[in-house]
Amino acid sequence: MSSPTANGAKTGYLPEVQGLRTVALGLVAVFHVWFGRVSGGVDVFFVVSAYLMTRSLAARAEAGRITRPVEHLLGKFARLLPAAAAAIVLILLAVCLLEPVPLWEQHLEAARASLLYVENRELQLASADYLDPGPAGPSPFQHFWSLSVQGQAFVVWALLHCLGDLAARVLGLPVRRVLLGVFALIGALSFGYALHLVAVDQSFAYFDTAARLWEFAAGSLLALAQHRLRLPAALRAGCGWLGLLAILACGFALPVESSFPGWAALWPVLASLLVILAAAAPGAPPTGAGRLLAHPLLAAAGRYTYALYLLHWPVLVLSLSALGIDRADWLLGTAVLVVSALLSVLLARGVEQPVLRWLRRTRHDAATGRGGGRRGAAGLRGMLRAFLRRNRRPGIAVLLLLAMGFGAVGAAGGIGQARLDGVRAEYAALDIPSLGANAAGGAASADPPAELLDYVRKDTSVPGERCAEGAPHAAELCFDLPPLDGAEPDRTILALGNSHSIQFNGALLEAVERQPTWALHTRGAWSCTIETAQERGGACVELWPTALDWIEEHRPDAVVLFGTQSTLTQELSQWGLLEWIEEARERSPGTEFVAVRDNPRFDRDPAACAGEFGPFASGCLEAPVDALDPEFVAALEAAGVIWVDLQDAICPDGVCAPAQGGLWVFQDDNHLTDTYARSLAQRFAEQVHPRLEWWPEEVYSSGELVDRSPPGDILEHTEED
């Protein structure tokens, strides 16, 4: 995805360059909407942005005006933010109207990152894959990654220009010569880094600013050297046509999203340079491809390209999400483009262009002395007054627009939290003892509440308070639920493992929350089993020895963990548990151990399927992998471990349905909902009570249920887990 910068009515640069940006934006939109691919337009914009910035700042430096980074960046972002902040508010409004509330938080985080021009970093930290955004689909803010890269590059470029201007003065060298050396070095280092990072982790490299700086450097180098590059008219025309055709063909010829910003990115970068190199001198009539690029229609469309870029992607993403489809056909794609174009005109005329006209008055005020204080004051105070006089409007614009954006994020977060709290109250009112695994008449005996389907995505309550930072024997996933009165617990239970252990806490909490003197402690790590600990390292490898230390200190009555790990094709036995349990018993002889069979995993999301076709549609039914190793179960039982197998309850008659007995079963492709896990409490008790007599035989009638978990706290699953 690409990022044009905001345009004024009079840009002061060659019309061919404006036309180039407009054509590239059109390619970006068309490829996104109709082809589900990337066009390479982002690289064109990076080159053009740096070319224009360096062309302007170098000319100012040669005229004796050293680049002022703060002043330059205030003006730059004051021109960028009006449309961007307004678009973010509009996207948030659409998210509130169209998206499930449990997905809001990730959208709010993306909105915050977009306002601060760090969305590319957020995508890197989330290990986002451009081609595979995951089960939740792409974010309507994902296109802000390139705006973020561009904004970060602007900051770096402003500083480099300032340092280059100062160095040229100190050394007595031409400023262009100094800047040529600076940007040549930056370009070489960035390109080498990009090649390395693409080979190591291409998805990470795609969003990386440092791996993209060489594209900006290419534009700056041309801006600095173009005055010496005089080409014959025929050659100039040929370069223009060759560059334009190469840009048009890039998205068809190259797998941009899976190969950039490495060697393949040279294609659009060099093509852009050819088009710019072929541009006519200011005031001279364009020739060759320049005639097409300088056409008045492209110039007129260019006034709306920034707004179109900001809006076409969220319109596409939210339309696909609302319709429950992955790709737009030609009819829907045309509708998306038409709607995006109309909205972009409204955004540009209603927000962007009025603010830009208001900002242009800054120069007039500064030139006439209007708008702030006395003129001619000496010293630091005078410099500060002059700075404020020149930058009053841009500063006000930036602060107000950021406040508007963050205010919208806060408001959406408050609305979302209120709605989540309301739904949790609805869940709490459900009659769990007669629903889900407890329902009479089979899985399809009652339809689940359709209005609650959107909320199952985060239906995993945190089991207690999160462990204090630096707590002894803590873990990556660490929660404590002490007795109600804070006294020494009569019974202590440890739930140990990964997110599947935590999701299963619902079944344990139905008993623990009815026993005010019991304590439940949870220790886990993402995607962690004892068999994969050494391979995963980090928090996973530390979990198991740390848990032994915790067991030795606290002497729990029972440890509940998962004995197997399900996959799409097999069920892996955790043989390493036998040795680990033996050592744990030596440290705490009275502790009992319960091993639970893992719940099934699927290659698609049952809840998403149910949302499209219904909770009991045949296409949404799955068969579990039945590959349990009886020798492993026998070994556990021989070691005195209590084996619990609930697969017949989760998938009765060998069929796993999205819903069962009036409850939603799955919140994604491998996690149970907390509500359904609570319905498994009695099934769990039936298998545990004969060996643990203190565990309630009739869970739901063993006492009054008192929820001791913090209100509103939820567990975020990782996609990998």
Separation of alpha carbons 496 and 525, rounded Å: 9
Same domain, 521 and 405: no
Instruction: Tell me: pLDDT of 374 over 50.
Output: no
In a domain, 718, yes or no: no
Residue of higher predicted confidence among 391 and 670: 670
Give me the chain's average pLDDT, please.
86
For the cut 70, the answer to whether the pLDDT of residue 9 exceeds it is no
Work out the percent of the chain whose per-residue pLDDT is above 90: 54
Q: Is residue 712 part of a domain?
A: no
pLDDT of residue 378: 55
Number of domains forming the structure of the chain: 2
Tell me how far apart the terminal alpha carbons of the chain are, to the nearest angstrom.
29
The answer to whether residue 695 is domain-embedded is yes
Q: Smallest Cα–Cα separation from 513: which of 534, 529, 531, 491?
A: 491
3 state DSSP class of 62? helix
Phi, psi torsion values for 479, nearest 5 degrees: -145, 145
Instruction: Quick: pLDDT tens for 230-258.
Output: 788 888 889 999 999 999 999 888 887 77
Task: Give the containing element (helix H, strand E) for 642.
Answer: strand 642-644
The domain of 241 spans 15-413
Tell whether 101 is covered by a domain. yes
Quick one: pLDDT at residue 367? 46
Q: Is the peptide bond before 545 cis (omega within 30 degrees of 0)?
A: no
Residue 444 has pLDDT above 70, yes or no: no
Examine the domain organization and report whether 476 and 354 are in the same domain: no
Greater pLDDT, 709 or 643 = 643
Q: Considering the domain boundaries, does residue 10 fall inside one?
A: no
Say if residue 395 is in the same domain as residue 468: no
CA dist 701 and 291 (Å) reads 83
> Is 52 part of a structural domain of the chain?
yes
Which token pair is 677? 């896990």
pTM assigned to the model? 0.74
Mean pLDDT, residues 588-599: 95
Q: Which amino acid type is present at position 709?
A: S
Q: How far is CA 409 from CA 92, 189, 314, 363, 536, in A?
A: 7, 38, 16, 33, 36
* 343 and 464 both lie in a single domain: no
Helix ranges (DSSP H) in 254-304: 256-259, 266-277, 289-293, 296-302
C-alpha 450/C-alpha 448 separation (Å) is 6
In one-letter notation, the amino acid at residue 623 is A
Same domain, 476 and 566: yes
Residue 719's pLDDT band, with cuts at 50, 70 and 90, is very low
Residue 595's DSSP bridge partners are 561, 643
More confident residue, 1 or 584: 584
Q: How confident is the model at residue 423 (pLDDT cuts 50, 70, 90)?
A: confident
d(CA 633, CA 641): 9
Asked which of 413, 435, 470 is the last residue of a domain, the reply is: 413
pLDDT at 33 over 70: yes
Nearest Cα residue to 240 out of 294, 318, 305: 294
- Contact present, 647 and 605 (Cβ < 8 Å): no
Q: Look up the CATH number of the domain holding residue 591.
A: 3.40.50.2300
Please name every residue paired with 479 in a beta bridge, in sequence order, or none if there are none: 466, 522
My answer on whether 405 and 482 are in the same domain is no
pLDDT (average), residues 429-448: 80
Q: For 258-279, how does the pLDDT look when each residue is reduced to its tens digit (9 = 90+)?
A: 789 999 999 999 999 999 998 8
> Does the structure show a pLDDT above 90 at 26?
no
- Mean of the pLDDT values across residues 502-508? 90
Identify whether 690 is part of a domain: yes
Which token pair is 151?
A: 């904004």
CA distance 63 to 68: 14
Contact between 463 and 709 (Cβ < 8 Å): yes
Q: Residue 1 pLDDT > 70, yes or no?
A: no
Residue 463 has pLDDT above 50, yes or no: yes
CB atoms within 10 A of CB 34: 17
Query: Which of the residue ranges 278-287, 318-327, 406-415, 582-591 would you say has the lowest mean pLDDT?
Result: 278-287
Q: What is the pLDDT of residue 464?
A: 81
In a domain, 511, yes or no: yes
DSSP 538-568: HHHHHHHHHHHHHHHHH--SEEEEESEEE-S
Domain shared by 132 and 233, yes or no: yes
The dihedral built from the CA positions of residue 645, 647, 648 and 650, taken in this order, carries a sign that is positive
* Judgement on whether residues 225 and 372 belong to the same structural domain of the protein: yes
Quick check: 557 and 493 in contact, CB under 8 A?
Answer: yes
Claim to verify: residue 118 and residue 261 sit in the same structural domain: yes
What pLDDT score does 8 carry? 36
**Dihedrals φ, ψ of 14, to 5°?**
-60, 135
Average pLDDT over residues 642-660: 92
Q: Which two tokens stand for residue 477?
A: 């996933």
Predicted local distance difference test score (pLDDT) of residue 586: 94
Segment 593-616 shows an average pLDDT of 88
pLDDT of residue 302: 87
Domain shared by 472 and 571, yes or no: yes
Give the alpha-carbon dihedral of 51, 272, 210, 132, to 10 degrees: 140
Q: Are residues 407 and 498 in the same domain?
A: no
User: In terms of domains, do 372 and 518 share one?
Assistant: no
Closest CA to 235 of 281, 285, 287: 287
